[in-house]
């Protein structure tokens, strides 16, 4: 079975995909690739390729999806067997968001990681639902475990990321575009764009979820992954 490489979002780790790892680990080899060590998307993608199996399926959520697109751009044609892009954005950073990252970085350097996550990032993440507080608490724990240096490197990488629309237009492997219906960070039109760019891609909207459907609606995501991986 082709191995699956998972790329987490900003200030997230393997816990972001906990339900998927639990559901799929008996069916497919799974590798979690951190996106924490460098401050450019290009270098992060290069590390993923150095550490990944010779041929693999690739899935990334949010920043993980942004790095996944750069992995696709850098990879030889035969390395990536399947692609899944979740709650992500193929465009370069908007100027207003790029500028807003500098004061966030400064605040985090001054000891304000918890406050930034609580007040500026986490409120935009999730849909209302019974798991909302549990997932928010997990997001805070992941962020604090990763720490301020990772926050700064990831913020810099996102600030200067390349536009990947041309990359997506070249994709010719089975591709899943998936998002939570209530995702306010990466809205529907961004995913519709990716779906249009990748010929033959599948577009799936998960109801009752926001930016982190892997945790908000894990059973629906698990089902979509099984179909995408052709392991049902």
Query: Does 137 map to a domain?
Result: no
| CA 127 distance to own-chain centroid | 17
Look-up of token digits 């219906």: 181
Q: What's the predicted TM-score (pTM) here? A: 0.94
Dist CA 22 CA 35 (whole Å): 21
The whole-number pLDDT of residue 122 equals: 63
Counting Cα atoms < 13 Å in the Cβ hemisphere of 100 gives 8
Range of the domain at 222: 4-94+153-229
Of residues 60, 8, 44, the one with CA closest to residue 153: 44
CATH number at residue 178: 3.40.50.1820
Query: Does 33 map to a domain?
Result: yes
Furthest C-alpha separation in the chain: 49
Query: Does 38 map to a domain?
Result: yes
Q: What angle do CA 44, 142, 51 make, to 5 degrees?
A: 30
DSSP state of 9: -
Of residues 84, 80, 72, the one with CA closest to residue 176: 84
Print pLDDT tens along the chain (232 aa).
899 999 999 999 999 999 999 999 989 999 999 999 999 999 999 999 999 999 999 999 999 999 999 999 999 989 999 999 999 999 998 888 889 899 999 999 999 999 988 886 666 678 888 888 899 999 999 999 999 999 999 999 999 999 999 999 999 999 999 999 999 889 999 999 999 999 999 999 999 999 999 999 999 999 999 999 998 6
Q: E strands within the chain? A: 4-7, 30-32, 56-61, 80-86, 175-180, 202-206
Element of type H or E holding 215:
helix 213-216
Query: Does 147 map to a domain?
Result: no
Query: Does 19 map to a domain?
Result: yes
Number of structural domains, the chain?
1
Dist CA 60 CA 83 (whole Å): 8
How long is the chain? Answer: 232
Task: Let me know: does 210 contact 126? Beta carbons within 8 Å.
Answer: yes
Phi, psi values for residue 126, rounded to 5°:
-120, 155
Phi, psi values for residue 77, rounded to 5°:
-60, -25
Kindly write down the DSSP assignment for every residue of 140-165, as one continuous string. HHHHHHH-HHHHHHHHHHHHTPPP-H
Query: Does 71 map to a domain?
Result: yes
Dist CA 209 CA 202 (whole Å): 18
Look-up of token digits 């599948």: 202
Query: Does 132 map to a domain?
Result: no
Query: Does 136 map to a domain?
Result: no
Look-up of token digits 């007040």: 119
């Amino acid at each position: 079975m082709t191995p699956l490489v998972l790329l987490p979002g900003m200030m997230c780790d393997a816990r972001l995909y906990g339900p998927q790892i639990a559901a799929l680990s008996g069916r497919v080899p799974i590798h979690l690739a951190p996106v924490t060590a460098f401050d450019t998307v290009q270098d992060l993608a290069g590390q993923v390729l150095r550490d990944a199996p010779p041929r693999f399926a690739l899935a990334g959520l949010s920043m993980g999806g942004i790095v996944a697109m750069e992995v696709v751009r850098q990879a030889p044609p035969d390395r990536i067997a399947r692609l899944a892009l979740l709650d992500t954005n193929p465009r370069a950073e908007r100027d207003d968001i790029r500028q807003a990252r500098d004061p966030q970085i400064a605040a985090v350097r001054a000891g304000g990681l918890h406050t930034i996550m609580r007040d500026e990032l986490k409120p935009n993440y999730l849909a209302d639902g019974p798991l909302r507080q549990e997932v928010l608490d997990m997001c805070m724990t992941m962020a604090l475990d990763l720490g301020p240096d990772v926050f700064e490197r990831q913020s810099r990488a996102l600030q200067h990321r390349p536009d990947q629309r041309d990359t997506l237009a070249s994709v010719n492997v089975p591709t899943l575009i998936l998002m939570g219906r209530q995702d306010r960070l990466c809205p529907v039109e961004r995913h519709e764009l990716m779906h249009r760019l990748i010929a033959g891609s599948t577009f799936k909207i998960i109801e009752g979820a926001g930016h982190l459907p892997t945790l908000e609606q894990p059973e629906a995501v698990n089902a979509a992954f099984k179909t995408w991986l052709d392991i049902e």
